[in-house]
Amino acid sequence: MSFDSLGLSPHLLAAIADSGYTQPTPIQSKAIPAVLDNSDVLAAAQTGTGKTAAFVLPILERLGSEKHRNPRVLVLTPTRELAAQVEQSVKTYGAKTQIRSTVVFGGVGYQPQISAFRKGVDIIVATPGRLLDHLQQGNLNLGMLETLVLDEADRMLDMGFINDIKRVLKHIPAKRQTLLFSATFSKDIRKLASTLLNKPVEIDVAPRNATADRIDQKVVMVEKARKRALLSHMISTGNWSQVLVFTRTKHGANRLVKQLEIDGLSASALHGNKSQNARTKALDGFKKGTVRVLVATDIAARGIDIDTLPHVVNYELPNIPEDYVHRIGRTGRAGLEGEAVSLVGPDERKFLKDIEKLIGNQIERIQVEGIDLRAPGKDDEEDEREQQARRPDNDGGQRPPKRGGGGGNGNRGGQGRGNGANRGAPKAEGGAPNNASRRRNPRRGNRGGQRSGGSTPSS
Ligand code: AMP
């Protein structure tokens, strides 16, 4: 099938050609005609399948080139990063139209967003919290809305946005087109769909939870205390220039970044406690190649769209097996090959089993040459102590700078530069999240961070 047969105007076909796409992905060939037909759509499609263009292109087609005073289209996304990326797609594909779009999320000032509304905007891409603030303050009128898109709806439910979504719905017309995209059709998603959608066209492009064939998945069994050394070793010896590393906690992400920097690798953390500016900076640096390692938590990394990301590492396995699928889906995108390596400690075997059950495959176990993966080190004790202390603000001064002595690990080549200096360096970033995580929900953290970030004026 070609894009020509989908009913899109020449200016959109030109934008598609400019993006380098030669043929529609399965979600695009199914969703584009349905959206053009004014149908509601319920689509199971993960990031990486081309789902953004699957709704943005037909929406642009339907809007035509007329400018409107009030918004006609609202796209809700779970994270700021995804909102920014979707809006960027709107701008890219709509470059040859008059259609105006804006992105709305927390963590940045209200005024520029209000100014954009005043000038008139056709498409708004937003996270639910900040959008709701604007609606409640009367900054925005969604009474003329024609199309509502819920992108990554499963993740919005996971993040506790359901009530915000319901509140947003009160501000938009009941008679509208609704498109719901979700990685999976869980029971909760079906329930939400039944309340929001009217006789939807159902599209399921990928076998549920199947991981992309083009992602080369591997597992390295390794003692927890050796993970940092192993990661540095793999990055250095493999000459990896761009690697996305997942940790389970924001605190773990911060700690790993400091450690990698000691090892001489440029690294940044991306998680919900970071200010919007810090997140944008980290992501930009990573895309441009000035930051070699981006260490992220699940939610912050959702929707990161980097076309050519070659390596993803699970520094810790997620305890929710579906998150594994989302994580590794950051690589192997747009038809390119990618590699996803999971570092699995003895205490994570159960998570690995659950993941393998979900994906229906055993992941290949590999050995890594040139490093001892077994020897427990002092990191273990440190980890234990940190787990127990758990008060993030202990991180700064209280840990004795043991590692500077060498710790028997040949990969920590940079110790000579002095742990003290390195540890102290990222003060501003290290301090803010710690304080923030104390204020917010320290349990799984992401939820609190995102929700607050998405909606509170202070964030
Ligand atoms: P998404 O699932 O929307 O996050 O898109 C994943 C990636 O696929 C993005 O980097 C898009 O630029 C790319 N993409 C979208 N549609 C196509 C297509 N028809 N052909 C090739 N790449 C595409």
Q: Name the residue at shortest CA distance from atom 16 of ligand 1.
A: 50
- Each residue of 110-128: pLDDT tens digit? 999 999 999 999 999 999 9
Residue 453 pLDDT > 50 = no
CB of 300 within 8 A of CB of 270? yes
Kindly state the percentage of the chain with pLDDT values over 70. 76
Residue 444: name the closest of 191, 158, 236 by CA: 158
Decide: helix, strand or coil at residue 445.
coil
Please tell me the CATH superfamily of domain 215-375, with its number: P-loop containing nucleotide triphosphate hydrolases (3.40.50.300)
Mean pLDDT of 8-37: 94
Q: Which atom of ligand 1 is nearest to the CA of 25?
A: 19
Which residues does a 6 A CB cutoff place in the pocket of ligand 1? 21, 24-25, 28, 47-53, 305, 307, 333-334
Measured in residues, the chain has a length of 459
Mean pLDDT of 37-65: 91
- Does the structure show a pLDDT above 60 at 400? no
Measuring from atom 15 of ligand 1, which residue has the nearest CA? 50
User: Is the pLDDT assigned to residue 15 strictly greater than 80?
Assistant: yes
Tell how far the Cα of 335 is from the centroid of ligand 1, in angstroms. 9
Nearest ligand 1 atom, CA 47: 2
**Distance from the CA of 9 to the center of ligand 1, in angstroms?**
19
3-state secondary structure of 34: helix
Distance 48 CA to ligand 1 centre (A): 6
More confidently predicted of 392 and 214: 214
Name, of 143-147, 307-311, 397-401, the range with top average pLDDT: 143-147
The neighbouring-strand residues paired with 76 are 126, 150
Task: Using pLDDT thresholds of 50, 70 and 90, give the confidence band for residue 51.
Answer: very high
Give 264 Cα–ligand 1 centroid separation in angstroms.
34
- Whole-number Å distance between alpha carbons of 90 and 92: 6
Q: Which residue has the higher pLDDT, 304 or 69?
A: 69
Q: Indicate which atom in ligand 1 lies nearest the CA of residue 306.
A: 10
Rg of the chain in Å (alpha carbons):
23
Position 343 scores a pLDDT of: 97
pLDDT higher than 70, residue 297: yes
Query: Which pLDDT belongs to residue 336?
Result: 62
pLDDT the model gives residue 237? 92
Task: For the chain, give the mean pLDDT.
Answer: 80
293 backbone dihedrals φ, ψ, rounded to 5°: -120, 125
Would you state the pLDDT for residue 273?
77
> Measured in angstroms, how far is the CA atom of residue 157 from the centroid of ligand 1?
24
Which protein residue has the closest C-alpha to ligand 1 atom 6? 48
Cα(12) to ligand 1 centroid in Å equals 15
Per-residue confidence (pLDDT) for residue 416, from 0 to 100: 31
Q: Taking Cα atoms as reference points, which of 69, 57, 46 lies closest to residue 19?
A: 57
Q: Best of 6, 25, 57 to mutate for ligand 1, by most ligand atoms within 8 A of CB?
A: 25
The atom of ligand 1 lying closest to the CA of 49 is 2
Task: Select from 9, 244, 38, 22 the least CA-distant residue to 147.
Answer: 38
Burial of 347 (0-12, 13-18, 19+ CB in 10 A): exposed
- Give the residue range(s) of CATH 3.40.50.300 domains in the chain: 3-204, 215-375
List alpha helices for 37-150, DSSP H: 51-63, 80-93, 111-119, 128-136
Q: Best substitution site from 305, 306, 331 to test ligand 1's pocket, by max atoms within 8 Å of Cβ?
A: 305
Candidate from 19-33, 215-229, 387-401, 438-452 with smallest mean pLDDT: 438-452
Q: Rounded to two decimals, what is the model's pTM?
A: 0.58
Please give the single-letter amino acid code of residue 107: G
Mean pLDDT across 265-273: 87
Residue nearest to atom 22 of ligand 1 (CA): 334
Residue 212 pLDDT > 80: no
H or E stretch at 33: helix 26-36
Q: In testing the pocket of ligand 1, which one of 21, 77, 309 has its CB within 8 Å of the most ligand atoms? A: 21
Ligand 1 center to residue 178 CA distance, Å?
22
- C-alpha angle 150-154-155 in degrees, rounded to nearest 5: 95
Residues 6+ apart with CB under 8 A from 80: 105, 106, 107, 127, 276, 279, 453, 454
- Architecture field, domain 3-204: 3-Layer(aba) Sandwich (3.40)
Which residue from 52, 57, 86 has its CB within 8 A of the most atoms of ligand 1, so it is best to mutate? 52
